[in-house]
């Protein structure tokens, strides 16, 4: 999610304020050489510098604490993703210890920092059990403002929030990353990459799209494999390729966002899903396209169907061009959501 953190760096830089981007975890090999002096830990990733957060008390010197994007404050993430990774990073001895650490850092179970607490662009789509709801209620009671990324998340947390917590709808934080490539000339190709859903024979799908459109398919093979030193160069190189594509074909959530943010049509695929089941579940893609009024650009694929991609091929052949009034209207709607989110966020700071 390089684009999510880049958006944070750009957003707060444009405000002209001093800020620090914290992470709570890092790969064990990156921190083992400096233990126990974790206070000095810094991680360079592309153009980003992260500091390692070990205790909520480290945030007391900040006027604002902004939980930026992802599932950070979602208890399901804390239990299923954060906890096992914390153990693998060597930051906790057991998953139960890691779960408690997540609670202190992201649910504020042992008290809140002194600054204004905000959560923006977070995902709370999971159906919550009683224990998860209570944990989330704890966080919401201490948060000053929560702007989740979608209507489902907002609906889920609204009954748990205290009257003093400002709630409003938002979008994914990656949409706040500026684009200087939105109106470039279209190339004679489309871009594709898969890797998030268990879709059948995507290579055959790509060949079928090439045959149906007469366009070459360019694979964005490095999208899910950015490296520490080369991340920035590779990311922006791929963004440039995306910006001139006629459309994108993918099952990847943030690739979809980055393409749409550049005004490029996306045909996004996923498995049938009626609820968010994990941080990589397909429901969040379905909700994204629904809230952008792009329902007709999201396709649930039945893996055992005789011709699972037939409707996708028909839609691609009948697609409106990027220069069409229909597509420009959709891009304008996305821009309106972005502007509203930015304004609400600035007003809440």
**How confident is the model over 137-188, as pLDDT tens digits?**
999 999 999 999 999 999 999 999 999 999 999 999 999 999 765 556 789 9
The reported pLDDT for the residue numbered 314 is 97
Contact 228, 286 (CB under 8 A): no
**Separation CA 64–CA 115 (nearest Å):** 5
Q: Give the position of tokens 């390729």.
A: 241
The reported pLDDT for the residue numbered 43 is 77
**Separation CA 30–CA 34 (nearest Å):** 8
Flag residues of the chain having pLDDT under 70.
Answer: 29-42, 180-184
Is 243 exposed, middle or buried (CB count within 10 Å of its CB: 0-12, 13-18, 19+)?
A: buried
The reported pLDDT for the residue numbered 31 is 59
Assigned token pair, 28:
């064990």
Let me know the angle formed at the C-alpha of 71 by 174 and 229, rounded to the nearest 5 degrees: 55
C-alpha distances (whole Å) from 267 to each of 213, 311, 332, 343 are 14, 11, 18, 29
First to last CA, the chain: 23
The reported pLDDT for the residue numbered 270 is 97
Nearest to 154 by CA among 189, 124, 185: 124
Q: Give the position of tokens 């208890």.
A: 75
Q: Is 130 helix (H, G, I), strand (E, B) or coil?
A: helix
**Separation CA 215–CA 264 (nearest Å):** 15
The reported pLDDT for the residue numbered 228 is 87
| φ/ψ (deg, to 5) at 269 | -120, 150
Dihedral in degrees, nearest 10, Cα atoms 129, 92, 24, 234 = -100
C-alpha distances (whole Å) from 95 to each of 19, 143, 181 are 31, 26, 44
Strand order from edge to edge, sheet including 21-23: 21-23, 48-52, 42-45
Is the peptide bond between 123 and the residue preceding it cis, with omega within 30 degrees of 0? Answer: no
**Separation CA 279–CA 220 (nearest Å):** 22
Number of neighbours of residue 341 by Cβ within 10 angstroms: 22
């Amino acid at each position: 999610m390089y684009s999510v953190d880049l958006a944070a760096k750009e957003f707060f830089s444009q405000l002209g304020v001093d800020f620090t981007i914290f992470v709570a975890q890092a790969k064990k090999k990156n921190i083992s050489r400096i233990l126990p002096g974790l206070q000095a830990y810094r991680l360079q990733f592309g153009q980003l510098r992260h500091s390692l957060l070990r205790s909520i008390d480290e945030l007391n010197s900040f006027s604002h604490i902004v939980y930026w994007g992802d599932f950070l404050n979602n208890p399901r993430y804390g239990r299923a993703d954060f906890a096992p990774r914390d153990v693998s990073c060597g930051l906790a001895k057991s998953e139960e210890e890691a779960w408690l650490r997540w609670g202190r850092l992201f649910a504020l179970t042992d008290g809140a920092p002194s600054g204004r607490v905000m959560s923006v662009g977070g995902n709370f789509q999971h159906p919550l059990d009683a224990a998860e709801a209570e944990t989330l209620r704890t966080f919401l009671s201490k948060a000053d403002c929560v702007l989740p990324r979608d209507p489902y998340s907002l609906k889920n947390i609204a009954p748990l929030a205290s009257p003093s917590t400002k709630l409003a709808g938002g979008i994914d934080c990656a949409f706040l990353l500026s684009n200087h490539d939105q109106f470039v000339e279209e190339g004679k190709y489309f871009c594709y990459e898969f890797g998030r859903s268990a879709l059948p024979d995507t290579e055959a799908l790509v060949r079928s799209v090439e045959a149906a459109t007469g366009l070459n398919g360019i694979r964005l093979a490095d999208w899910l494999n950015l490296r520490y030193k080369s991340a920035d160069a590779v990311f922006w190189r791929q963004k440039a390729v995306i910006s001139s594509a006629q459309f994108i074909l993918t099952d990847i959530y943030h690739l979809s966002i980055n393409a749409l943010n550049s005004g490029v049509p996306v045909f996004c695929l996923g498995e049938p899903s009626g609820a968010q089941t994990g941080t990589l579940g397909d429901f969040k893609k379905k909700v994204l396209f629904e809230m952008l009024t792009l329902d007709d650009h999201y396709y649930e694929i039945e893996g055992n169907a005789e011709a699972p991609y037939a409707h996708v091929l028909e839609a691609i052949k009948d697609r409106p061009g990027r220069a069409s009034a229909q597509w420009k209207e959709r891009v304008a709607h996305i821009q309106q959501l972005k502007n509203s989110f930015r304004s609400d966020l600035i007003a809440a700071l």
